[in-house]
Chain A
Amino acid sequence: MSTDLIDLGSESRNAGSFVSFLDQICARFELDHAAYAGTNPVASAVHGYVNYPDAWKRHYAENGLHRIDPTLLVASRSIAPVDWSRLDQTAGFEKTFRDARDFGITNRGLTIPVRGPYGDIGMLSVTRDCSATEWEKLSRQILPDLQSVAVHVHDTVMRSDVLSRALRYPALSTREREILQWIAAGKSQQDVGDILGISHRTVEVHLRSGREKLYALTTPQAVGRAIMLGLIYPL
């Protein structure tokens, strides 16, 4: 889990960069495949990116599996990550994954549903061919980070048209701004907590929220972007 993810927010965004981001996710979290699908009602667009083998993508499209695949249709209605073992009783699951083995695709996976502020929904699905115990251990370990990554991909994809970008101008609270301002001044999170008289955990939860609102994966990226947008002062 040492590889760093390239922050999508700063890249010129095209389909290629999204797919290569999925590759990075797989490399970093020890996964086989990843897929993102999302709908943006503002731009009335549907987006999908996968790093599955071409043969499986063809099979999936030709058989219209997206119309029955419960990892898309059912999982999006949960608020929590949905392990595919929870879906294997549904009618579509057996059909979707019946031939998957032949394409080297496992039915061991999970889907992280994302909800955005404008009725937009997205799903990041990941798979790994391994034993049940191994999967249990891995998914437990990577879920917190994967949650953040899923929202990062979703937000970036949803901002790929001009109208949505204007709508999604980062709305930072005073608290989030002042914490970023002190971080920009070189203070550690502990220092910031002491200066503002708030707990370390409060600093952390606001910093994480501020970072995600700025579509950044790391704090330095968030600071840079906040300065660029004139939300905090360069020091």
Chain B
Amino acid sequence: MIIIVDALNKDRFGDLLDEMFKLRARVFGDRLGWEVEIIDGREIDQFDRLDPAYVIGLDDEGHVVSCVRALQTTGPHMLSDVFQVLLDGEPPLRSATLWESTRFCVDTQRLCRDGNTMKAVSMATCELMIGSLEYARRSGISDIITVIDPVVNRVLKRSDNAPYDYVGSTKQMGKVPAMAALLDCTEERINRVRAFAGITHDVFASEDAVRDLLTARHLAESGRVTAPSDWSAMILSDAQEPLPTVLVEDIQDYCRAQIEAARTEEERADALRLVGVLVREGIHPALHQVVFQN
């Protein structure tokens, strides 16, 4: 099943995103050897700080088995900022109806582990492709430019989802080559992938259904994993370490999350008061004032 996680619902699905960043670390860092930064077992880059949308695939137990990241091409994205070499020095395409997709990956390890064959991998891959194309299509997007390696390119072709063209040329990025491919978000393409995989059902799960699944999974797991009993001791021992750098964006995100998560007026007032204090201390940037002109 597929769920879209973006800035609007990420507070509800922090655990899902964390698992996704770990999957990306295993796939792009360990397996493919891309030159990505991995901190604490998670692969997170500058574009993850730009409020992208993630299309995330889950198995029936609620484990993340696939993911891809989408950004608008009108703003900062990978092809305009870090993958320009793929475009032979040409400026990137920029269009309101063109999204960029990056970090497409599938957890082959998990999908194959219970004696499953590549069939499970293929199904998860197709479900992710269908989810991405349908999400883009219903957002009014006509085309997707996707940064992929030749392996994913072959997977796309094999799934009756071949790119209709490429922009720029294939270039060695670190240990592996990368390329920018174009996919249309037409019903014909979606139907082709659906037919190939034999998927006729709605691939999207509701936020509530996914949340319930995750809660059930965590409950089941908490029986097996013993939690550290004394948190205060852990925090005290950590106090010797140098303090981690906290970004302004993190503080803003935190404050926004607090305000949005407030359930009562008091909670909301408290959250706003915190922002006020942080603004006064120069820790949080001043809030934008929207002024309507006529």
Which residues of chain A come closer than 8 Å to B94, judged between CB atoms?
117, 209, 212-213
Asked whether, in the complex, the Cβ of A201 is within 8 Å of the Cβ of B90, the reply is no
**0/1 per residue, B82-99, Cβ < 8 Å to A?**
000001001111111111
**Is A34 part of the binding interface, using a Cβ–Cβ cutoff of 8 Å?**
no
Tell me, rounded to whole Å, the shortest Cβ–Cβ distance linking B118 to chain A: 30
Main secondary structure of the interface of B (DSSP, over half): loop
A171 and B72 CA atoms in complex are apart in Å by: 17
B74, B141, B260, B268 pick with most chain A CB within 10 angstroms = B74
Asked whether, in the complex, the Cβ of B139 is within 8 Å of the Cβ of A198, the reply is no
Tell me, rounded to whole Å, the shortest Cβ–Cβ distance linking B7 to chain A: 4
Asked whether, in the complex, the Cβ of A147 is within 8 Å of the Cβ of B97, the reply is yes
**Is A150 part of the binding interface, using a Cβ–Cβ cutoff of 8 Å?**
yes
**Is A43 part of the binding interface, using a Cβ–Cβ cutoff of 8 Å?**
no
**Is A77 part of the binding interface, using a Cβ–Cβ cutoff of 8 Å?**
yes
Q: A48-B291, A115-B74, A174-B90 are in contact. Are A202 and B182 (CB under 8 A)?
A: yes
B72, B93, B96, B99 pick with most chain A CB within 10 angstroms = B96
Tell me, rounded to whole Å, the shortest Cβ–Cβ distance linking B113 to chain A: 33
Q: A79-B6, A115-B75, A147-B140 are in contact. Are A199 and B164 (CB under 8 A)?
A: yes
Which residues of chain B come closer than 8 Å to A48, judged between CB atoms?
290-293
Asked whether, in the complex, the Cβ of A147 is within 8 Å of the Cβ of B96, the reply is yes
**Is A46 part of the binding interface, using a Cβ–Cβ cutoff of 8 Å?**
yes
Which residues of chain A come closer than 8 Å to B164, judged between CB atoms?
199, 201-202
A201 and B184 CA atoms in complex are apart in Å by: 8
Tell me, rounded to whole Å, the shortest Cβ–Cβ distance linking A90 to chain B: 6
Main secondary structure of the interface of A (DSSP, over half): helix
**Is A91 part of the binding interface, using a Cβ–Cβ cutoff of 8 Å?**
yes
Asked whether, in the complex, the Cβ of B91 is within 8 Å of the Cβ of A202, the reply is no
A176 and B167 CA atoms in complex are apart in Å by: 12
Asked whether, in the complex, the Cβ of B6 is within 8 Å of the Cβ of A80, the reply is yes
Asked whether, in the complex, the Cβ of A79 is within 8 Å of the Cβ of B294, the reply is no
**Is B53 part of the binding interface, using a Cβ–Cβ cutoff of 8 Å?**
yes
Tell me the count of chain B residues lying within 8 A, CB to CB, of chain A.
50
**Is B62 part of the binding interface, using a Cβ–Cβ cutoff of 8 Å?**
no
B7, B70, B71, B97 pick with most chain A CB within 10 angstroms = B97
A147 and B97 CA atoms in complex are apart in Å by: 7
Which residues of chain B come closer than 8 Å to A60, judged between CB atoms?
292
Residues of B81-133 at the interface with A, using a CB-CB cut-off of 8 Å, are 87, 90-99
Tell me, rounded to whole Å, the shortest Cβ–Cβ distance linking B87 to chain A: 7
Q: A48-B290, A91-B260, A199-B165 are in contact. Are A78 and B96 (CB under 8 A)?
A: no
Q: A117-B80, A202-B165, A202-B182 are in contact. Are A47 and B293 (CB under 8 A)?
A: yes
B139's partner among A80, A116, A208 (CB-CB below 8 A) is A80
Tell me, rounded to whole Å, the shortest Cβ–Cβ distance linking B131 to chain A: 13
Which residues of chain A come closer than 8 Å to B72, judged between CB atoms?
79, 114-115
**Is B219 part of the binding interface, using a Cβ–Cβ cutoff of 8 Å?**
no
Asked whether, in the complex, the Cβ of A81 is within 8 Å of the Cβ of B98, the reply is no
Tell me, rounded to whole Å, the shortest Cβ–Cβ distance linking B41 to chain A: 27
Residues of B37-89 at the interface with A, using a CB-CB cut-off of 8 Å, are 50-53, 70-76, 80, 87
B290's partner among A72, A143, A206 (CB-CB below 8 A) is A72
Q: A19-B294, A115-B76 are in contact. Are A78 and B143 (CB under 8 A)?
A: no
**Is A97 part of the binding interface, using a Cβ–Cβ cutoff of 8 Å?**
no
Taking Cβ atoms with an 8 Å cutoff, the residues of A that contact B are 15, 19, 37, 39, 46-50, 57, 60-61, 66-67, 72, 74-75, 77-82, 86, 90-91, 114-117, 119, 121, 140, 143-148, 150-152, 171-176, 198-199, 201-202, 205-206, 208-209, 212-213
Jot down 27 A-B pairs with beta carbons below 8 A, ordered by A.
A37-B292, A39-B288, A47-B293, A48-B291, A49-B293, A72-B290, A79-B99, A79-B139, A81-B140, A114-B72, A117-B76, A117-B94, A148-B97, A151-B96, A152-B96, A173-B90, A173-B93, A175-B167, A201-B143, A201-B182, A205-B142, A205-B143, A208-B95, A209-B73, A212-B74, A212-B94, A212-B95
